Amino acid sequence: MPERRTVALVTLGCARNEVDSEELAGRLEADGWQLVEDASDADVAVVNTCGFVEAAKKDSVDALLEANDLKGHGRTQAVVAVGCMAERYGKELAEALPEADGVLGFDDYSDISDRLQTILNGGIHASHTPRDRRKLLPISPAERQDSAATVALPGHGPADLPDGVAPASGPRAPLRRRLDGAPVASVKLASGCDRRCSFCAIPSFRGSFISRRPSDVLNETRWLAEQGVKEIMLVSENNTSYGKDLGDIRLLESLLPELAEVDGVERVRVSYLQPAEMRPGLIDVLTSTPKVVPYFDLSFQHSAPGVLRSMRRFGDTDRFLELLDTIRSKAPQAGVRSNFIVGFPGESESDLGELERFLNGARLDAIGVFGYSDEEGTEAATYENKLPEEVVDERLGHISRLAEELVSQRAEERLGETVHVLVESVDDEDGVRGRAAHQAPETDGQVLLTSGAGLRVGRMVEAKVVGTEGVDLVAEPLQGSPAWSEEAGR
């Protein structure tokens, strides 16, 4: 019997890429490939790249070069680039990075097994010529679902796997294979984006916005719950637009309670919300539905009106603060995070001061700050009133320091609060760590539990916040709580 082919998936970038990698893993496993964790143990190392900003692109290139160094020193015979950077640059990336044995775009995902086998056999699969993926679907959202089957939509895979891959009973298995045993998993709610932010290139290579059908989202959630997942995080480029192409812009409001009722799911989290598209009904559902956490990942980007207009965005400091007041009037402990760009072309000192005013009043739990840099193919790259690089760096440092101070202050405001912590790691040196409802994976800090006897990864624990370490919380489990009583006896 021939030795089984092995493949390792190395994922960079956001949670959406993680979902895409697990779909690729499902396709490959269904076609007989053996998945391994370490690239050095794989015949083929597949690097799922990020193409969002320069730093992410550099990380992707570094990962490809690192995987290439394995060739000739172990089992690895080929290195293949997939993901956003591969889709965005195609042939250009292949020519600039000959170390990659293949550069595959989204259209190659459905035939990923054949593509890898061709490359492994020494053949060449021609890298694609990049195109504006927004043009692949109709302009009218209402007409897109009929065309969806003809367009590659990573993370929207068919609901069933071949025989032998799906579980023998239970919910239909998605075209997905989990690559870790974490108690949290992301689920794609939609793909693409119809917004035209002047600094962002994502719509050009991810395409126009298209929703997944609620039944597919529910089936995947049920399957993940059977795999032991306790927290579901809904991801897309813009979750607030969910349903607009299905004839119901309020579809998320009806889907969330259904997801929360899935057996085994303890927490549902929604990410990537647009402030300009927030509506009262969605706020109500996010702040009042059991198991749906009051968590608001709001993409503010700035708060000075002039800068926002240049960004092709909407809002201002006072309207954003009013939105946060509305949220906290319904859920005082709600978690809020956001990202901001400083040094945008034309940003004045008074604009920066307006951003500081917003940050000081917003009481955000987590803040990401980025210095502006040109992204090719974007409108902002053509603007003339660019700030000197040293000015951008200075403003980035200033706002980053302010952000660090403010999120630490916000953490201190939570002293005395009771939080529900999903245990994510139990370690002799680092102790028991997890996340509260206001903390998303990877981005928003953690909770260190002062005691963890009897606790295991995936358990939900009620605890009281007794200290802080920057953005992180220190919490003492409440041993009389139902959650503790259930877990301590195990």
Q: Distance between CA 424 and CA 459 in Å, rounded?
A: 8
Which residues, in sequence order, are CB contacts of 403 under 8 Å at separation 6+? 340, 359, 367, 369
Is residue 90 annotated as involved in ligand binding?
A: no
Closest CA to 116 of 62, 66, 42, 57: 42
Is residue 356 annotated as involved in ligand binding?
A: no
Task: Name the β-bridge partners of 368.
Answer: 339
Is residue 193 annotated as involved in ligand binding?
A: yes
Is residue 221 annotated as involved in ligand binding?
A: no
Is residue 134 annotated as involved in ligand binding?
A: no
Which residues, in sequence order, are CB contacts of 255 under 8 Å at separation 6+? 214, 217, 218, 242
Closest CA to 292 of 352, 232, 358, 244: 232
DSSP strands (E only) in 330-406: 335-342, 366-371
Q: Distance between CA 299 and CA 295 in Å, rounded?
A: 13
Closest CA to 311 of 208, 198, 396: 198
Residues 268 and 252 sit within 8 Å (Cβ to Cβ)? no
Q: Distance between CA 387 and CA 398 in Å, rounded?
A: 16
Tokens representing 68 are 């290439």
CA distance readout (Å), 209 to 67, 86, 193, 243, 421? 33, 20, 4, 10, 34
Q: Distance between CA 231 and CA 221 in Å, rounded?
A: 10
Q: Distance between CA 423 and CA 323 in Å, rounded?
A: 31
**CA torsion angle 456 458 459 462 (round to 10):** 120
Decide: helix, strand or coil at residue 288.
helix
Residues 189 and 234 sit within 8 Å (Cβ to Cβ)? yes
Is residue 200 annotated as involved in ligand binding?
A: yes
Mark the binding-site residues for [4Fe-4S] cluster, compressed into ranges: 14, 50, 84, 193, 197, 200
Q: From the annotation, which residues make up the binding site?
A: 14, 50, 84, 193, 197, 200
